[in-house]
Structure 1
Amino acid sequence: MPNLTNYHSHCLYCDGRANMEDFIRFAISAGFTSYGISSHAPLPFSTAWTMEWDRMDDYLAEFSRLKEKYADKIELIIGLEIDYLNEESHPALPSFQNLPLDYRIGSVHMLYSPEGKVVDIDTPADTFRQLVDQHFGGNLDYVIWSYYNNLFHMLDLGGFDIVGHADKMHYNASCYRPGLLDELWYDRLLHRYFTTIAEHGYIVEINTKSYHDLGTFYPNERYFSLLKELGVRVQVNSDAHYPERINNSRVEALTALKKAGFSSVVEWHGGKWEDVAIELS
């Protein structure tokens, strides 16, 4: 099968469930042509799902060893998924820019509550509801605007190549308030957001992590045609935390992209990003 690539995956250096080599060996056995490791980057505080700075040298060294070991079987690249938290913690910081990485994914997983507490909103929908009620007084609009304002700040600051799960909050937010995606103000906000992404020239991943269980991509499929109209380059990533999930829902994503008018996706070959034709067998 063509278009067998993935650049969003998490191994044991963060919250992945297998070591780096297991992911690579699975990718090779599945016929992947290129593959990227993108552990969650360190934050200013410890979490259960991010890497610590004292593991960075080991992370880079282990990748270098595996890249050499499997050089004749697959093209491997190394990155990080780096959170925008605030103006003092984001992908453009020199501490991240000075690392010898091939690429960087920019994402938002957490928000500050009105009381200044860091709240992880990347949770199951029922937990999200509890967090909105507990930390934000049930003000879903405040949460949505905070989320997208952080994304806009991240886009302006730069320092990354790929926008990670571009509108991931849409599922939880629409579970909290059914019909949200059809509200005019929300649709206008998303149009402005994707237009800004296009103006900056970022790659948008079609994140397939939740498609099998929740029936949605990130970004939502309703915006695929807009991305095409804006000239945004896209790629399909599975955000895998288990080796056996690196190819989850790839065909469904590629099919949806073709339906929206896309003829190519962005892949890494020969040491650079390039546009490769979508081929559905």
Structure 2
Amino acid sequence: MRNLTNYHSHSLFCDGRAGMEDFVRFALSEGFTSYGFSSHAPLPFSTAWTMEWDRMDDYLSEFHRLKEKYAGRIELYIGLEIDYLNEASNPSIARFRELPLDYRIGSVHLLYNDKGEVVDVDVPADTFKTIIDGHFCGDLEHVVRLYYGRLMRMLELGGFDIVGHADKMHYNAACYRPGLLDEPWYDELVRAYFADIARRGYQVEVNTKACHDLGTFYPNERYFSYLHDLGIRVQVNSDSHYPERINSGRPEALRALREAGYESVMELHGGEWREIPIVL
């Protein structure tokens, strides 16, 4: 199988479970041709899952060491997964734009509740339910609209290349309220979001992290044909935190994309994004 690439991965510089070189070695053993690192970018406050600014030089230095060491065996690239938190901390700010990166992933993991407190909504479904009930008075629709509103603002501000796990809340929200995904207001919201992505020319990753554990992709597979009709370019990433999971869900995602009408995916080769035919 070709299309052995991955541009969304996390190492010990953030919440990954292995060093960067461990991921490179495993990628080589799996036959990958192109691989990228995308640590969670620093936030204005410390967390257990983001990199600190004082580690940035080490992150870049370790990448360049590995790129030189494995030159000719695999193409290595460096990026960041940058959160839209607020107007002062998002992918568009100068501090992120000035970094010497090959690409940037834009994502949303955090929301503000009505008290102005930062709330992490990228959590397991049972924890998500507790958060909705405890922080948002059980108003799921408000939370969903808040989430997509922040994603839309992130699209407007820019500063990134790839939309990360484009509708990741869909699984937790559907667990909280079965049938939600079929409600007209939800479908209209998601379609407007994807239409804006298409207008602005961003790539969308098909994130396979939850494929085997939860049986879903991000974005939801039900929208793959819509993305294709909009002309949105896609890539397949595993969002891996463990080296052995870098290829998890890739064959399934490629097959689903083919069934939705896609004939190619985006890959980085020679420092340029290229449309590469899907080969199963």
Q: Residues 183-208 of structure 1: CA distance to partner in whole angstroms, max 9, x if unpaired?
A: 00000011100000000000000000
- Partner SS state of residue 189, structure 2: helix
1:105 paired with 2:122, answer no
1:235 paired with 2:202, answer no
Q: Residues 15-50 of structure 1: CA distance to partner in whole angstroms, max 9, x if unpaired?
A: 000000000110011100000000000000000000
Q: Which residue is equivalent to 1:60?
A: 60
Runs of 4+ in 1 over 4 A off after TM superposition: none
Letter in 1 for 2:125: A
Letter in 2 for 1:102: D
Deviation at 1:88, TM superposition (A): 1.1
Q: Residues 232-272 of structure 1: CA distance to partner in whole angstroms, max 9, x if unpaired?
A: 00000000000000000100000000000000000000111
Q: Residues 134-174 of structure 1: CA distance to partner in whole angstroms, max 9, x if unpaired?
A: 00000001100110000000000000000000000000000
Deviation at 1:59, TM superposition (A): 0.2
- What TM-score do you get using the length of structure 1 for normalisation? 0.99
Letter in 1 for 2:251: V
- Partner SS state of residue 106, structure 2: strand
Unmatched 5+ residue regions in structure 2?
none
Q: Which residue is equivalent to 1:15?
A: 15
1:1-281 alignment, distance < 5 Å = 1-280=1-280
What's the C-alpha RMSD, in Å, of the aligned pairs? 0.4
Unmatched 5+ residue regions in structure 1?
none
- What TM-score do you get using the length of structure 2 for normalisation? 1.00
- Partner SS state of residue 38, structure 1: strand
Q: Residues 54-112 of structure 1: CA distance to partner in whole angstroms, max 9, x if unpaired?
A: 00000000000000000110000000000001111100110000000000000000000
